[in-house]
Each structure stands twice: as C-alpha cells, then as structure tokens.
Structure 1
C-alpha cells in the first residue's frame, strides 16, 4: 500500500472499540503470543506505535542488541498499572505515523496479526481490509523468520486464498481464508484448522517445529 497510515489508524481505533469493557479475567487471557496475556500484547502495540527509527536504535542498543530483551522492555514500559490506562496510551497514539527501521507494510502486519493475537482467544472477530491483509501476507512471505516473517515456513508451497484474489509461491497448495494464511505465515499454528490442501501437512510440521 502506498500509504499505510489511514489503515493503521483505523485498526487502532477498531481495536480500542473491541477492548473497551473487557473484564479483568479477559485482560489476563493468554494471547496467541506464548507467554503474553491480552494486556501484554496491547502494551507491545503501544510500544511499537511510539517507536521511530532513532528511538528504535537507542532502545535496541540499551537492550544490548538483544531483540527479545528489547521487545520485553517495551512491553514492561508501556504496560500500565491497569489495562484501561494502557488502552488510553493507545488512544494517544492513534494518529502517530512513525515506524521502526522496517518496510511500512510491517505496520499492517503489526496491527492485523497482533490484533488477532488478542481477538481470537477472546472470541472476537473482525473483517480486516483485504488489500491490507494481502500486503501484510506478501511482506511476511519475503521476510525471514529471524525478522519475524514466514519466508521459511512457506518455502516450496503455494498459498492460495479462498476468499480473495491471492496466490503466491510455487509447489503444493495451502488454501484457506486470506487472514488465516497470514496468521499461519506469521507462526500462529491455530490458523492451521482453517486451511486445507496438499501442502498443509508440510506447513503443519514446520509450525510444530517452531520454538514456543
């Protein structure tokens, strides 16, 4: 997409609306991100929304160039005393248009994949914009796992959406909803239940071998 920011703002707004009124137990629900609750993922979204290139470089250096430490520090910094306060922090960032040193479409991956990391365990559904979802999937398919992508997961497979004009790759097919293809390519094994095709067993094995 030439300009991701209107979609990013729309997704931030939609997420806030979906999370308003959650109970304490719901905020403590394990997300699709291992070890993180719904509240933790929200804090991560806030941290990323505030991270420009200079801020990333400074904070990454402070984390001794350890990406996991950098990420966990961001969650701890933006996870307020109450979920309502963390949600307010996202409200402040609705229109923020800064990004870490990554392709702009990574902001779509951030909001759609992490949006599902939160929504799916809570039983909340959302119809994400198809163009944004497709662009996010294209980015994941050309990004290596070391940078959070799914290039290795999808290698030698053809991903075909049943609900959109989308096909990428070469080899045995994995078919299903575009959103589920994006989630599977982002390492979310839960999405396998939505998929089918003669390449699915290969994808499933690769996801099962992913570190938790």
Structure 2
C-alpha cells in the first residue's frame, strides 16, 4: 500500500505543478517563510533522499550538526538543507528535478533492505515512540506529499485534485499516531469527507464523541490553521484536548512548525 499510495501522491503533485505561473511559484504558503517554490524544493529533496542514501546522509548530517549551534528541531534543518541545495535552480529546472526523483522514490523506498528500514529514527525528529527509518519511507513520505499538496492548492487558490487512493491510509496513520501518543481521557473520533472513518483514541470509556472533517483535523494536528468546529457529544474536555494535540504529519514548517510542537 505504501508504494501504491506514494506513486499516486507524487503523480498528483507533479500534475499540480505543471503549468504553474510565475506568480504562483512565488505564492506564500501556510508554512511560514516558504513560497510554493521552497515547498517544491523540499519535496524534490525528500524524494531524492528516498532514492539516494548519500543525499539523506548529507541532509541528516547537516541537520544533526546545526542544533549544536542553534537548538531548533532536527526536521527544520533537514528541510532547510534540502531547499538550500536547490536555491540556484530555475523553476523549470526545479520542476524537472522533482519529476526525476518523484518517478523513482516509491520503488527505491519500497526496496530498502530490511536492515536499513529497521534503523531507529532520530529521536529529535518528532517521530512517534519506537519509530524507525521505515516510518519515513512508508508513512511520513506519503503524509508529506499529501499535506504539501493541500498547502500548494491553498496557496494558489485552486481546488485540490485528485483525491488519491492514499488519503484514507494517510488519515488512518495520523489517527494511529495520535492514539499512540494520547495520554488523556479517551474519545471517539468521527471523521467525515475523504479519508473519513470512526476511531477510538485513548484507553477506557470515551468521554466524548467528536466529529470533524478529516482534512481540517489533519491541518489542526499538523500545527497549521485551525478551521475545526470539533462538534462533540459528551464532555467539552474531549474537544479541548484534541485541539491542543499535535502529530507529525509532514516534514516542513508552518508558523514555526509543520507537524512538530
């Protein structure tokens, strides 16, 4: 499913980039300090990391070294390194670069040796407890492309098309990670729209049933904008706890963090 979903997401991303105007490349996104161009440079860099372990090692080394000088999150620096390495590309060259790596990333990621996939992920990267390199390859990569496709659509004022086969799985994974890290009173989560479903979150008897659009909740959990109503039946405490929760939904930073708190 991971490979199929990532193929679908990259295809949708490449289609969205095709035909961007000069002004759309410069449009600011919900990730503070990032224009569409910066976001696509990050996505091209992330795809290259999946294809070329040496590129991943280079960006991870940069990210691991920088916090010693300026204690900001590992992922901030990793993304900055990906963008910095593409700062001299024209938009046409960046689009070609994205297409090149996006066409190879799903197969390369799926083909990683078991030993490599089992390497523990950096503790500072905001991953859930026990996460390994496979979480980046199979989980975060799909979320990353999906969430940034939404960011780009919002930035240029176009509807997000298409709804891919990966969206239900991406939402399910985010809710799973929410449940793993949830230490508060239990809730039942009812999500509507693409990727919707019903999930228990937390242990014990739920104090509330909370209903929300899946896409809106993903944006809330990632630390982006909050358009959520969080309609609830039961205790209001459940919706308050959910509104304060954060999950690593992608790599890339809005208003200080993109999925990290």
Matches within 5 A, 1:79-94: 79-94=87-102
Point out where structure 2 has 5 or more consecutive residues left out of the alignment.
68-73, 110-116, 118-132, 247-253, 257-261
Q: Distance in 2 between matches of 1:48 and 1:35?
A: 18
| TM-score (structure 1 length as normaliser) | 0.77
- By relative contact order (CA 8 Å, sep 6+), the higher-ranking structure is 2
- 8 Å CA contact retained: 1:26, 1:38: yes
1:54 is matched with 53
Give runs of aligned pairs for residues 171-190 of structure 1, distance below 5 A.
171=206, 172-190=208-226
User: Which residue of structure 1 lines up, in the alignment, with residue 124 of structure 2?
Assistant: none
CA contact (8 A) 1:156 1:169 kept: yes
Aligned-partner SS, 2:223: coil
Q: 1:49 Cα deviation (Å)?
A: 0.5
Query: Which residue in the other structure is 2:123 paired with?
Result: none
Choose from 48, 61, 86 the match for 1:78: 86
The match for 2:192 is 162
Residue 170 of structure 2 aligns with which residue? 136
What's the RMSD between the two structures over aligned residues? 3.2
Distance 1:87 1:168, change over 3 A: farther
Query: Counterpart of 1:196?
Result: 231
Does the 8 Å CA contact 1:159/1:175 hold for their aligned counterparts?
Answer: yes
Q: For 1:124 and 1:83, locate their aligned partners in 2 and report how far apart those are by CA, in whole Å.
A: 19
3-state SS in 2 of match to 1:192: coil
Cα distance between partner residues in 2 of 1:28 and 1:142: 35
- Residues 26 and 36, structure 2, Cα contact 8 Å, conserved in 1: yes
Provide the C-alpha distance between the structure 1 equivalents of 2:151 and 2:183, rounded to a whole number of angstroms.
Answer: 19
Check if 1:124 corresponds to 2:154. Answer: no
Supply the distance in 2 between the matched residues of 1:11 and 1:29 (Cα, whole angstroms). Answer: 21
Give me the TM-score of the superposition, normalised by structure 2.
0.64
Q: How many residues align?
A: 202
8 Å CA contact retained: 2:191, 2:211: yes
Q: Distance in 2 between matches of 1:93 and 1:102?
A: 19
